[in-house]
Amino acid sequence: MLEIKDEARGLISHGVSACHGCGLEIVIRKVMDALDDDVIILIPPGCAALFSGYCKETNVKVPGYQGNLENTAASASGIRAALKAKGNDHTTVLCFCGDGATVDIGLQSLSGAFERNDKILYVCYDNEAYMNTGIQGSSSTPLFAATTTTPGGKKVRRKDLTQIAIAHNIPYVATASAHNIADLQKKVKKAREADGPALLHIYAPCPTGWRSNPAKTIEISRLAEQTGCWINFEYEDGKVTINSKVKELKPVEEYTKLQGRFKALTPEQKVALQEEVTSNYNATMKKLQFMSE
């Protein structure tokens, strides 16, 4: 065993072998910093499984379980029920899942847990594809983005996870981004206190999969918000608060030009993508504003 000379300050150990500029690494450290050690974490296979560890070593200081790809929410329900049966109503049951494990294969079990109103804190870190298995497209991959299973660019738009969650009428749903840690951590704390399931959908850039400069992870995250590709808001007990304050949207190209996954866009596709982002942004903001009144 290694001699530990410098204890990790947070609940995640130092020296995890994440890629350079990994958005997920920022997100998991900051989410855990906003909590304490009264947490049980569930991590399905995926990039976050780096934090589950390997063989005898783990990178999290709280108890954890790596279940199957699609059953994180159901496993969390089982843990919550067991804790309840043992008279424990204080431990946070935290799911930490990628977009594939959430919006694709895990959507059924997530919907079940939402409907049962099981008290779980579900974090979806969204890097917009199956990154751990080699950048395959997911239903969170945006329009025209190239992945290894959408090599000619994705032909359809992404799923709207937060609207799916809100349709279940759960107490807390929020989006957050890797570039706004104060906002993210405030939402983690609120989500933990929710009287039922809480969903945090967190934007987490992936330089490896997006073919972007690892030094620009935060810049890309900020640009996603500034161009209207990502909207930060929260939904609390039926009411929406919009956190993204963008006076005028920047052109989408300022965001896409930093990422190799959009490199092959034709001039026509660039126009179409701008139109799609603008119309989706306007429609979503209209909906959110309606829900905030």
Partner 1 sequence: MAKKMLDGNGAAAEALRLTRPKVVAVYPITPQSTISETMAEFVDFGKLDAEYIRVESEHSAMSACVAAGLAGVRTTTATASQGLALMNEVLSMASGLRIPMVMPVVNRGLAAPWTLQCEHGDAMNARDTGWMQFYCQNVQEIFDMILMGVKIAEDSRVLLPMMVCFDGFFLSHSMQKLEIPTQEEVDEFIGEYVAKNMYLDTEDPMFCCDLTGPEDFTEMRYQQKVGMDNATVVAAEVMDEFAAKFGRKMTQVESYLTEDADAVLVALGSMNGTIKYVVNKMRAEGKKVGMVKLTQFRPFPAALVREALKDVPVVGVFDRSSCMGNYNGPLWNETAGALTRTNVDLRHFIGGLGGRDVPAVNVERMFNELLEIKAGTRTENTEWIDLKEGAMEIRQVTKYVRD
Q: Tell me the number of residues near partner 1 by CB under 8 A.
A: 44
Task: Determine the number of helices (DSSP H) and then strands (DSSP E) in the chain.
Answer: 11, 8
List the x/- string, 42-61, binding to partner 1 by CB under 8 A: x------x--xxxxx-x-xx
Out of 1, 2, 15, 86, the only residue in the binding site for partner 1 (CB under 8 A) is 86
Out of 14, 20, 37, 275, the only residue in the binding site for partner 1 (CB under 8 A) is 37
Out of 47, 79, 199, 223, the only residue in the binding site for partner 1 (CB under 8 A) is 79
C-alpha distances in Å from residue 150, one per residue of 101, 141, 143, 263: 18, 9, 10, 13
CB 260, min distance to partner 1, A: 28
Q: Does 284 bind partner 1 (CB under 8 A)?
A: no
Query: Which residues have CB under 8 Å from 245's CB, separation 6+?
Result: none
In the numeric block, the tokens 């918000």 are attached to 225
Q: Does 84 bind partner 1 (CB under 8 A)?
A: yes
Give the Cα separation of 23 and 166 in Å (integer): 25
Region from 74-82, 218-226, 242-250, 279-287 binding partner 1, contact rule CB under 8 A: 74-82
Run of H or E including 111: helix 107-115
CB 232, min distance to partner 1, A: 30
CB 32, min distance to partner 1, A: 13
CB 172, min distance to partner 1, A: 21
Out of 12, 39, 184, 204, the only residue in the binding site for partner 1 (CB under 8 A) is 39
Give the Cα separation of 280 and 159 in Å (integer): 12
CB 114, min distance to partner 1, A: 10
Of 153, 134, 126, which Cα lies nearest the Cα of 231? Answer: 126
Region from 64-72, 163-171, 215-223, 278-286 binding partner 1, contact rule CB under 8 A: 64-72
Q: Which is nearer to partner 1, 168 or 187 (CB)?
A: 168
Give the Cα separation of 280 and 283 in Å (integer): 5
Query: Which residues have CB under 8 Å from 173's CB, separation 6+?
Result: 162, 165, 166, 198, 199, 201, 234, 235
Q: Does 82 bind partner 1 (CB under 8 A)?
A: yes
Q: Does 94 bind partner 1 (CB under 8 A)?
A: no
Find out whether 174 and 167 touch, Cβ atoms under 8 Å: no
Run of H or E including 273: helix 267-291
Q: Which residues of 171-198 are buried (b: 16+ CB within 10 A; e: fewer)?
A: bbbbbbbbbbbebbbbbbebbbebebbb
Beta strand ranges found along 147-242 (DSSP E):
172-177, 198-203, 233-236, 239-242
Give the Cα separation of 246 and 202 in Å (integer): 18
Q: Which is nearer to partner 1, 18 or 288 (CB)?
A: 18
Q: Does 196 bind partner 1 (CB under 8 A)?
A: no
List the x/- string, 101-140, binding to partner 1 by CB under 8 A: -------xx-xx--xx-x----------------------
The residues that touch partner 1, with contacts defined as CB under 8 A, are 37-40, 42, 49, 52-56, 58, 60-68, 70-71, 73-79, 81-86, 91, 108-109, 111-112, 115-116, 118
